[in-house]
Amino acid sequence: MKSIPFWNPLPEYEKIATEVHTAIARVLSSGTLILGPEVAAFETSFAQYIGCRYGIGVGNGTDAIILALKALGVGQDDEVITAANTAIPTVAAIMAVGAVPKLVDVLPDSLLMDPAKLQGAITKRTRAIIPVHLYGQSCDMDTIMKIATSKKVFVIEDCAQATGAEYKSKVSAKGGPAYGRKSRKSKVGSMGSIATFSFYPTKIIGCYGDGGMITTNNPALAKRVRSLRMYGTEGTYNAIIEGGINSRLDELQAAILSVKLKNIKRWIKERQRLAHRYNQGLKSTPLILPSQPQKVSPFEANSHVFHLYIIRHTKRIEIQKYLRMHGIGTAIHYPVPIHLMPAYSKLGYEKGDFPVAEGACHSVLSLPLYPGLTDDDQDRIINALRAYFK
């Protein structure tokens, strides 16, 4: 019996192989490998796709958060609020700049940051909030931005899992904890003071290696990030900003990403189609399926790009073993909440502090979902799950 991997990059690659090889050859024959025309072109096209004025390519998604924090002046002993169920890199980046992660619980349905928990978490030391657009859909940015504006703190959108996802409206902050105007249908990454993206291979669009991006509408922030990603330099050999690092998206990856960006709308539609098939096939089972994006009017709703298709059940491990026996790969995002990891014990949290996040960590299971997953393979997954519950 043919196995079904949790993730398979080959179907996607096979459809764009000729364009990818042409792009690679173009870069190699140009003789320019770092911060050349390919990076500049991709930065421009990606920023336009997101709906921002500026895009700055960096080495990876973690560096993107580090550089965003540095650009905003967040540093030693400042507090940064984020969700208790985020991936390790979000918290690791906060600590890398000397700041203190402060966690809040998440909503029971979407597992996104619970805005109601923000007010009580903000103190005089709070400098920023990092809402994580987890699994492929947007946090409640209207509420988050309203709170951030009233408390004069920055908002850094963590968009690593949600490139292309849309929110019903936006409050566009101009580089600071500030103000803005509302407009309909905004992509994640265009609403906060600054935003970060990951191009890890499994993401909505991924490198064949590592890569990341920062977007903003603020020219001063964009200029500062461009300097910080290159040792804090202005020009080549003159460092003007302390704390700069070496984190640059390279020409090869930028050229590949430009090819992929042209396909992103089609790939997102395919992810949404597959998610709908899962929803229809599994709705009669005891599984908790992904929450549906909020519909705010007959003509307007948040979108979900389904970077991950998450099911939940208390017998998650048994289900995973059963699927493995039937040749079906799965993954768990994430088995241990941040505050219960040994590396972050000094944050002072205890078991029970974030009950929703903790419950999710014991029940979530990610099913295969990627462009190129065939209907036949997906039907096999659905039928296996339905059989488990008979």
Query: pLDDT by residue (tens digit) across 123-166?
Result: 999 999 999 999 999 999 999 999 999 999 999 999 999 999 99
Average pLDDT over residues 185-196: 94
Domains in the chain: boundaries: 10-104+111-260, 264-388
Residue bearing tokens 């549906």: 292
| Cα gap 304→274, rounded to integer Å | 12
297 has pLDDT over 70 = no
Q: How far apart are the first and last CA of the chain?
A: 22
To the nearest 10 degrees (0 to 180), the angle between helices 251-261 and 37-50 is 40
What pLDDT does residue 184 have?
A: 55
- Taking alpha carbons only, the member of 165, 126, 210 closest to residue 307 is 165
What pLDDT does residue 240 have?
A: 93
- Dihedral over alpha carbons 240, 243, 245, 247 (to 10 degrees): -90
| Cα gap 316→365, rounded to integer Å | 6
DSSP lists the bridge partners of residue 200 as none
| Cα gap 42→58, rounded to integer Å | 12
What pLDDT does residue 133 have?
A: 98
What pLDDT does residue 176 have?
A: 42
Backbone angles phi, psi at 60, to 5 degrees: -170, 175
pTM (two decimals): 0.94
Band of residue 348 on the pLDDT scale cut at 50, 70, 90? very high
On whether the CB atoms of residues 77 and 90 are closer than 8 A, the answer is no
On whether the CB atoms of residues 340 and 351 are closer than 8 A, the answer is yes
- Taking alpha carbons only, the member of 242, 310, 248 closest to residue 97 is 242
| Cα gap 307→163, rounded to integer Å | 9
Would you tell me which CATH number, out of the four given (3.60.15.10, 3.40.250.10, 3.40.640.10, 2.60.120.260), belongs to the domain 10-104+111-260? 3.40.640.10
CATH number for region 264-388: 3.90.1150.10
171 has pLDDT over 50 = no
